[in-house]
């Protein structure tokens, strides 16, 4: 099949503007075909828009699925990728490998016809959309016909055969959160998960409960009635709290009471709305750790906010990648019938 030569391993050859940027930071990328000889071409089936981005698009669209689709189409036409101009985030996709460049030497062992989920953000993935077939408002997924390009440095996972593809897609979209939670939480610690009733939050609560052990304490915090009840029904949190995560003093006071004044060793922020930075920092111990997985986080607000209240917690940026995070997260679903049921009912349609 036809190819172009001279592709950069990180996709810099696809950057249209500004010159010198890498694809994620670029305003616009070249999404044209044919592919370069070190790229992989994917026939796209479904976009899994990240939660912060989808929430923003949904509000902008007045919760109209047709308008959600129009906004996504407009973004991709303008930028060559699904890179939300408000949140700066993207999501991921599932599709079928259509072509592997003749000079591809990346880490992936794929063949044409393999069904895959990309584990790199749509905010850096060259994307062509021919048609939006359906917008699923509850699962934050969009069925399309189109094509995407995976760079030589990119990461993808073959879809498992023992669960619905859209369930795997939803879990893999947030695979970094539970995998890194597993690395961070130690036995006996008190862990607070903000956004504990959502996709990443439920996975993090399960892993935190497992890693904190019998002597640990796991606290879930959710906003809406539906999220709170879901978090409570799943049963992974020792204590379930409900409130507004954009009100830091409210969160602090509730966690202070729940811990008998001890506060949390680790706070994991999985919220999909902006303005929750200080609500994550205040409930942490002075020598604690705050893990910002949420793509709605302003790291300026987090850093300056912590400075302003004299808080010494260590703060980590939520990296969506860590080694074997895809395998770990899918195994979590297999371990927990309750999580598998929730993901299947919510994202498997």
Tens-digit pLDDT profile for residues 89-141: 999 999 999 999 999 999 999 999 999 999 999 999 999 999 999 999 998 99
In terms of pLDDT, which residue wins out, 295 or 67?
A: 67
DSSP string of 91-135, one letter each residue: EEEEEEEEEE-TT--SS----TT-EEEE-S-TTSS-EEEEEEEEE
Tens-digit pLDDT profile for residues 3-25: 999 899 999 999 999 999 999 99
pTM of the model: 0.86
What is the number of other CB atoms lying within 10 angstroms of the CB of residue 70? Answer: 15
Q: Which residues of 170-179 are buried (b: 16+ CB within 10 A; e: fewer)?
A: bbbbbbbbbb
pLDDT of residue 294: 85
Residue percentage of the chain with pLDDT more than 90? 91
Nearest to 313 by CA among 252, 237, 239, 236: 252
Tens-digit pLDDT profile for residues 12-61: 999 999 999 999 999 999 999 999 999 999 999 999 999 889 999 999 99
CATH number of the domain at 176-342, out of 3.40.50.2300, 3.40.50.300, 3.10.250.10, 3.40.50.720?
3.40.50.720
> What is the rounded average pLDDT of the residues 257-274?
95
Nearest to 143 by CA among 66, 59, 45: 45
Domain extents for the chain?
12-159, 176-342
Determine the length of the chain: 349
Locate the DSSP E strands across the chain. Answer: 15-17, 28-29, 40-49, 91-100, 115-118, 127-136, 141-150, 156-158, 190-194, 217-222, 239-242, 264-269, 284-292, 314-317
Residue 90 DSSP label: -
**Cα angle 238, 239, 244; round to 5:** 145
Q: How far is CA 157 from the centre of its chain?
A: 15
């Amino acid at each position: 099949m036809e190819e172009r030569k001279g592709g950069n391993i990180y996709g810099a050859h696809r950057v249209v503007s500004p010159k010198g940027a890498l694809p994620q930071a670029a305003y616009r990328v070249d999404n044209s075909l044919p592919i370069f000889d070190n790229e992989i071409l994917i026939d796209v089936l479904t976009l899994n828009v990240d939660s912060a981005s989808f929430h923003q698009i949904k509000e902008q669209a007045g919760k109209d699925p047709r308008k959600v689709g129009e906004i996504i189409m407009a973004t991709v036409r303008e930028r060559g990728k699904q890179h939300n101009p408000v949140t700066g985030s993207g999501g991921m996709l599932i599709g079928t490998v259509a072509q592997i460049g003749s000079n591809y030497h990346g880490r992936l062992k794929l063949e044409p016809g393999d069904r895959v989920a990309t584990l790199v953000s749509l905010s850096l993935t060259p994307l062509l959309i021919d048609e939006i077939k359906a917008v699923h408002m509850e699962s934050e997924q969009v069925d399309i016909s189109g094509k995407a390009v995976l760079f030589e440095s990119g990461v993808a996972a073959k879809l498992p055969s023992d669960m619905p593809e859209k369930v795997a897609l939803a879990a893999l979209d947030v695979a970094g959160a539970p995998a890194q939670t597993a690395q961070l939480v130690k036995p006996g610690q008190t862990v607070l998960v903000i956004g504990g009733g959502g996709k990443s939050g439920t996975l993090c609560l399960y892993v935190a409960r497992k890693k904190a052990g019998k002597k640990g304490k796991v606290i879930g915090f959710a906003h809406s009635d539906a999220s709170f009840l879901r978090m409570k029904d799943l049963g992974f949190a020792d204590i379930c709290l409900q409130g507004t995560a954009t009100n830091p003093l409210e969160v602090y006071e509730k966690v202070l009471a729940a811990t008998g004044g001890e506060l949390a060793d680790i706070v994991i922020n999985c919220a999909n709305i902006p303005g929750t930075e200080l609500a994550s920092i205040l409930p942490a111990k002075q020598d604690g750790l705050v893990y910002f997985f949420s793509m709605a986080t302003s790291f300026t607000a987090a850093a300056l906010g912590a400075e302003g209240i004299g808080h010494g917690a260590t703060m980590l940026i939520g990296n969506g990648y860590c080694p074997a995070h895809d395998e770990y997260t899918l195994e979590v679903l297999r371990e927990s019938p309750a999580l598998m049921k929730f993901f299947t009912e919510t994202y498997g349609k």
